[in-house]
A and B are shown apart, each in its own frame.
Chain A
């Protein structure tokens, strides 16, 4: 039995501890917001937070989550209130949308560490996330905008 905290709630799963966290989330726990894209940590579609750090859940055995905090896109905010979600709507970022959970989870870790990232810093932090629809220019704009929204909230 593996126990961890998922989006603030305790969960326990009875699976082979070598099973990637991605498939535990998707198939065992029904949390399908985290996506499968490559299975080799190459595309970032499966990005989640483990104790606040971005990890590729497709190559992380669930045993790594034992006793730790996992956050998925479903746990990012209630009612789309995260500055990234507000900015993603404002900038009309998603096309097919499949990679966007991973994009946002990567961006969230960037913004937690860097209140006002430059284009270069965004490019570096987001380089592991592929978008086949080509929403990169909008992702860049939306991260800048999210940083602004977060800044306004801090002031306000």
Chain B
């Protein structure tokens, strides 16, 4: 083992919390492995022993004698493109033949912990920002040692050798050797003490548009998602869960269910009643026949309509102050003009196309799990607890995720824990599958929010005071992340995008109420920004209108101290021809939002029919996400984020009545479809700053840019989502 010093000549801003040791060695099947060891104790000998044991699986890259290059991804691939971007980072330094590069999901091990969060997980649009250095380090180490192996073989200095596409050359003697041919020899060498990384100017792969590595498998049926995993002797289960959150089984009658051919067992589990069968279809038919008496518990009267009314009342009272600048109440009192507005957004389900599922093979002394998860460490710990096994006896095989959007990083590990509970009673390997109805009714929603604003304008129409009261459930409360996410009673996720707005307003206050409601809530693509991106930017437009200002020009003016956002805004406006005449009935709206350390501005062109039907024609998006690893990924994530945000703006909501979720499938929880999907143009602001998030930042501004475009088109303000055509009927261009 050698402690390796990394010489970073770039200007990366990366948090590496612990001392790390680079390590090279032989793979069990031959070839070179490059790994990282993160010591947890100060006792070097104990470390060494522990490391030796775990070494074979702790790799970040494996180079095979067959010239294969396998990158091990510590992060889950859920469509956001990290398998490709992490491989690009590693190969920027390794300089193998890109055509040989393949990716595998990492097993669960501390070395794969998120460099910032200290747990193995994928989320918060942090994969590229957090792995920006580590994956390049691994590539550099592998290259260095492969070159060293060649140099030793040829008895020349390593400095006289060069590398191109997985081949080491010694030009003076006209010799060459492939990485594969050097891998076994390289594995016997000691890792170098220093690795020097390229500067951004030296990059040859990072920054170049690169096609995704996982596309071929996703278009010929071979990609393996969790739902596709099959084990010999495996059974399939569906679970009847309570119709109201927090409900419990009183008793159940399985006699009819058990008559369905293929149903093997019906068993109670902590989350409900599991119907276990030879395949999904008999399990589902069995559940249809199951009769369960439920104790509905304390949430049987929950009603979203009532909650919205209560939220609106609550918002009239001051909450906990998340941020205060200047003296907003005095400034409001002395303003030449004041305006107020309230905004509402509903609970939302993540609704990944692949419904939740989890395969468990539980044995007396081991628990093996196959699932698409964003939260391996938490799921492993939860599974260990249910199985009654130590953490080390649980292994998770992370498959591809058919969408995640946060749902598969569940703070309670609900779908994994339940599957292990089912495996305990199934007494066979079992796959638990959720139906679409289970998914939509299953909770862990984006919280519903109420946002109440007041703004004061001076005689010139400039905003001099801004107050914003937020009402909505805390996501972090009651989770293992509470101490990280909640400070002085303020859940950072509730006020993000509101307390940290970039506009220069001299007097500002943001306060928060966090009502406790028995509906489980969770991070949903862009988290708190999914409501603040809408409410803040829609109200900003109202402020601009009230002051007689052009909404773009007022944003420009108040972003004078924010050069990166200003440049992003100006790029979007320029590309969208802000101010140019549009066809009759079409309106243009603009919004900006800073999230996950990235700057995004969007311009939407939309029209409203006489019946109030909204048509989105075009979305122009500009983004500054720092140095770009794969421009194709940035563009794809902005496009996808915009469509995800438009679905929330135009289509879907989860509502409760008598404690029951009213939606059940795509007919009442609709998604944007291709014929409703606008043309989207994405422009990237060139930047040399460290990479920042791209998976989520495209979502927040689109609902507000659309709301602002609707106002421009028909004079009606949108203050609740999803947009209802009934709210827009009778719009005639007269500004209200």
Point out the residue from B230, B279, B403 that lies within 8 Å of A133, measured CB to CB. Answer: B403
Cβ of A65 < 8 Å from any Cβ of B?
no
- Cβ-defined contact, A89 with B216, below 8 A: yes
**In angstroms, how far is the closest chain A Cβ from the Cβ of B567?**
25
Binds A, one of B29-37, B73-81, B130-138: B73-81
Given contacts A42-B665, A95-B636, A96-B353, contact A33 B222 (CB under 8 A): yes
Interface size bracket, A side = 35 or more
CA distance in complex: A73, B674 (Å): 21
**In angstroms, how far is the closest chain A Cβ from the Cβ of B233?**
14
Q: Nearest A residue to B433 by beta-carbon distance?
A: A36
CA distance in complex: A72, B284 (Å): 24
- Cβ-defined contact, A27 with B402, below 8 A: no
Chain B contacts for A151, CB-based, 8 A: none
- Cβ-defined contact, A16 with B261, below 8 A: yes
Chain A contacts for B400, CB-based, 8 A: 96-97
CA distance in complex: A13, B215 (Å): 32
Given contacts A98-B403, A124-B675, contact A85 B219 (CB under 8 A): yes
- Cβ-defined contact, A96 with B639, below 8 A: no
- Cβ-defined contact, A35 with B639, below 8 A: no
Point out the residue from A72, A132, A139 that lies within 8 Å of B353, measured CB to CB. Answer: A132
Q: Mark contacts of A70-86 with chain B using CB atoms, 8 A cut-off: 1 yes-contact digit, 0 otherwise.
A: 00111011001000110
**In angstroms, how far is the closest chain B Cβ from the Cβ of A106?**
10
**In angstroms, how far is the closest chain A Cβ from the Cβ of B619?**
10
Q: Nearest B residue to A38 by beta-carbon distance?
A: B436
Residue in B224, B403, B405, B680 with the greatest tally of chain A CB atoms within 10 Å: B403
Cβ of B584 < 8 Å from any Cβ of A?
no
- Cβ-defined contact, B667 with A101, below 8 A: no
Q: Nearest B residue to A90 by beta-carbon distance?
A: B211
**In angstroms, how far is the closest chain B Cβ from the Cβ of A146?**
11
Chain B contacts for A54, CB-based, 8 A: none
Chain B contacts for A30, CB-based, 8 A: 230
**In angstroms, how far is the closest chain A Cβ from the Cβ of B670?**
9
CA distance in complex: A40, B281 (Å): 14
- Cβ-defined contact, B673 with A130, below 8 A: yes
Cβ of B40 < 8 Å from any Cβ of A?
no
Chain B contacts for A34, CB-based, 8 A: 221
Q: Mark contacts of B367-410 with chain A using CB atoms, 8 A cut-off: 1 yes-contact digit, 0 otherwise.
A: 00000000000000000000000000000000011111100000
**In angstroms, how far is the closest chain B Cβ from the Cβ of A156?**
23
Q: Nearest B residue to A32 by beta-carbon distance?
A: B228
Chain B contacts for A89, CB-based, 8 A: 211, 215-216, 219
Point out the residue from B218, B402, B667 that lies within 8 Å of A42, measured CB to CB. Answer: B667
- Cβ-defined contact, B280 with A37, below 8 A: no
CA distance in complex: A136, B230 (Å): 31
**In angstroms, how far is the closest chain B Cβ from the Cβ of A38?**
5
Q: Mark contacts of A101-140 with chain B using CB atoms, 8 A cut-off: 1 yes-contact digit, 0 otherwise.
A: 1001000000000000000001110110111111111111
Binds A, one of B411-419, B504-512, B640-648: B640-648
Q: Mark contacts of B619-649 with chain A using CB atoms, 8 A cut-off: 1 yes-contact digit, 0 otherwise.
A: 0000000000000100010011111100000
CA distance in complex: A94, B212 (Å): 9
CA distance in complex: A38, B438 (Å): 10
Chain A contacts for B125, CB-based, 8 A: none
**In angstroms, how far is the closest chain A Cβ from the Cβ of B101?**
16
Given contacts A43-B353, A73-B221, A123-B675, contact A36 B280 (CB under 8 A): yes
Point out the residue from B80, B224, B280, B436 that lies within 8 Å of A23, measured CB to CB. Answer: B280
- Cβ-defined contact, A94 with B228, below 8 A: no
- Cβ-defined contact, B219 with A100, below 8 A: yes
Given contacts A20-B281, A27-B280, A35-B353, contact A138 B219 (CB under 8 A): no
Q: Nearest B residue to A130 by beta-carbon distance?
A: B671
Chain A contacts for B214, CB-based, 8 A: 94, 97
Cβ of A12 < 8 Å from any Cβ of B?
no
Interface size bracket, B side = 35 or more
CA distance in complex: A2, B211 (Å): 42
- Cβ-defined contact, A137 with B212, below 8 A: no
- Cβ-defined contact, B674 with A123, below 8 A: yes
A-B contact count, CB below 8 Å?
A: 182
Cβ of A26 < 8 Å from any Cβ of B?
yes
Chain A contacts for B98, CB-based, 8 A: none
Chain B contacts for A147, CB-based, 8 A: none
- Cβ-defined contact, B280 with A92, below 8 A: no
- Cβ-defined contact, A132 with B219, below 8 A: no
CA distance in complex: A92, B402 (Å): 17
CA distance in complex: A23, B667 (Å): 22
- Cβ-defined contact, A134 with B230, below 8 A: no
Cβ of B365 < 8 Å from any Cβ of A?
no
Q: Nearest B residue to A62 by beta-carbon distance?
A: B281
Given contacts A23-B280, A94-B212, A99-B353, contact A133 B221 (CB under 8 A): no
Cβ of B220 < 8 Å from any Cβ of A?
yes
Cβ of A55 < 8 Å from any Cβ of B?
no
- Cβ-defined contact, B215 with A93, below 8 A: yes
CA distance in complex: A153, B403 (Å): 35
Chain B contacts for A16, CB-based, 8 A: 261, 281
Given contacts A27-B236, A123-B675, contact A32 B218 (CB under 8 A): no
Point out the residue from A77, A96, A136 that lies within 8 Å of B402, measured CB to CB. Answer: A96
- Cβ-defined contact, B674 with A127, below 8 A: yes
Chain A contacts for B640, CB-based, 8 A: 95, 133-135
CA distance in complex: A30, B227 (Å): 12
- Cβ-defined contact, A92 with B211, below 8 A: yes
Residue in A72, A73, A127, A132 with the greatest tally of chain B CB atoms within 10 Å: A132
Given contacts A19-B281, A131-B353, A132-B403, contact A137 B677 (CB under 8 A): yes
- Cβ-defined contact, B642 with A98, below 8 A: no
Cβ of B666 < 8 Å from any Cβ of A?
yes
Cβ of B296 < 8 Å from any Cβ of A?
no
Chain B contacts for A4, CB-based, 8 A: none
- Cβ-defined contact, B636 with A132, below 8 A: no
CA distance in complex: A144, B668 (Å): 32
Chain A contacts for B284, CB-based, 8 A: 39
Chain A contacts for B43, CB-based, 8 A: none
Chain A contacts for B353, CB-based, 8 A: 35, 37, 43, 45, 96, 98-99, 130-133
Given contacts A89-B211, A98-B403, contact A104 B219 (CB under 8 A): yes
A–B pairs, 7, beta carbons within 8 Å? A19-B281, A37-B355, A43-B671, A84-B219, A96-B403, A131-B674, A134-B641
Which of B's residues lie within 8 Å of A, judged by CB? 78-81, 211-212, 214-225, 227-228, 230, 236, 261, 279-281, 284, 351-355, 400-405, 433, 435-436, 632, 636, 639-644, 665-667, 671-675, 677, 679-680
Nearest first, the 4 A-B pairs at minimum CB distance are A33-B221, A134-B643, A97-B218, A96-B79
